[in-house]
Amino acid sequence: MFVGTASDVGKSVITAGFCRIFKQDGYYPAPFKAQNMSLNSYATAQGLEIGRAQAVQAEAAGVDCHTDMNPVLLKPTNDKTSQLVLHGKPAGNRSAMEYFSSTHNDALFEEVKQAYDRLAAQHFPVVMEGAGSISEINLWSRDIVNMRMAKHANAAVYLIADIDRGGIFGSIYGSLELLPKDHRELVKGIIINKFRGDSQLFDDGRRQLEQLTGIPVTGVLPYFRDIHIEEEDSVALAHKQRRLASHGVNVAVVLLRHMSNFTDFNALEKYPSVNLFYTDDPVEILAADIIILPGSKNTIADLIGIRNNGTAAAILQAREQGKVVIGICGGYQMMGNRISDPFGIEGSIVTVPGLGILPISTVLEEDKVTLQRSFQFRGDTTLCSGYEIHMGRTVSPQPSPVNILSDGTPDGYWLSEQCWGTYLHGILDNDTVIKQLLHACGKGKNMTFDYHQFRQQQYDKLAALMREHLDVEAVYKSLRI
């Protein structure tokens, strides 16, 4: 199990790396995170929903993702409430007070233990990931994801700290000193992550940490920029705040407060000459070649938000100027004439006018669609793939589909090659679609990229880097392999 001194120290990426290492060494690993809080999610082959990070880790392990890998997913709807997704299915909204009540939390802990046990009966090793910090002592009695889960699994635990943010000695020593004796005994090593420069300069630091804690430092991982693994949640967006470039194709993804599945754009930003950035600045939106409205966990609130900050007006003006404007999932819904919420799925607002770009209207419904999809894009014979995660039904008086799904169902609305919308997340992982999009703005000639092959190469590069800088043999010994 990989746990952290804080959030965003690299747990998800290191877990993915070890999934790849164990696969390369002939084992049959699987990832596991008992509870994930993220708006980045993915649909399993069974039509259920899990955190995107566990889907990425499963891909690194070479196995199909399953809800047992992430039995509890929390998707924030506002500052105080989250949708609870249990075993891949929505189980209502919970406030933090409701979620952490003893009765509710004990029941969830039983559910996640059973999910782990099922997974462990089929895979070895199970590569577990913790959440946030292990030293939040006020949460220990209600912990279902960190050390209580490690205790249930009798896991070999590795504590990860991010040296780039500073305070590493205090955070490591304090985290370990706060642990109860039976939990601390599970910790087999410390991993220093994101070290800049020559790691030999930290040799004294390693020895001092080992003397202070009595726990070996398993390795020091360098800070890297040339390995690209999908990040877990929107914390990563802080590192993507590029701005307009003077050349190439400028792609502006509209920055929404409740943005979901920003990984939809990872493939596009890897294409040569593409400068993709996230923004809610009307000036930058107007200057972009392509504007993308992304998914949202609270579409109505985000639609009101972009109206209030001037972003919506800039999108409409860009559309009038002939710029390429597309929408994905919630962004597709926003592009229509109206969004209705008769069941109060997102709040108390029953109806809100859309941007009026596409002749569609949407009704938010209580049933959630979570499906992996194969499709053909605009009549192209190439079979593409994506997935749906939404709680809405969109209709138009005159259907004009963007995609035809493998079961013959139409998806999305095609107004022109410069303007369309779709429910399919992952649509921009397909080279066929990106080629059309870049061609539509008149700047994307002869660009091509195999994103699937690229991802596999990144897992291998990550595994090689970790083998070089971590004592992998010590990890194997801790697993008694």
Domains along the sequence of the chain with CATH: 2-229 (3.40.50.300), 242-452 (3.40.50.880)
| Active centre residues (catalytic) | 329, 425
Residues of the chain where predicted confidence (pLDDT) is lower than 70: 232-242, 444-446, 481
pLDDT number for residue 237: 59
pLDDT number for residue 125: 97
Residue 481, CA distances (Å) to 56, 63, 125, 476 in order: 25, 21, 10, 6
pLDDT number for residue 231: 75
Model confidence pTM above 0.85: yes
Question: What integer best gives the mean pLDDT of the chain?
Answer: 94
**Gyration radius from the chain CA atoms:** 23
Structure tokens at 220: 């020091």
41 burial via Cβ count (<10 Å: 0-12, 13-18, 19+): buried
pLDDT number for residue 444: 67
pLDDT number for residue 238: 56
pLDDT number for residue 233: 57
**CA quadruple 57, 239, 281, 252: dihedral positive or negative?**
negative
Question: What distance in Å separates the CA atoms of residue 152 and residue 141, rounded to the nearest whole number?
Answer: 14
pLDDT number for residue 449: 84
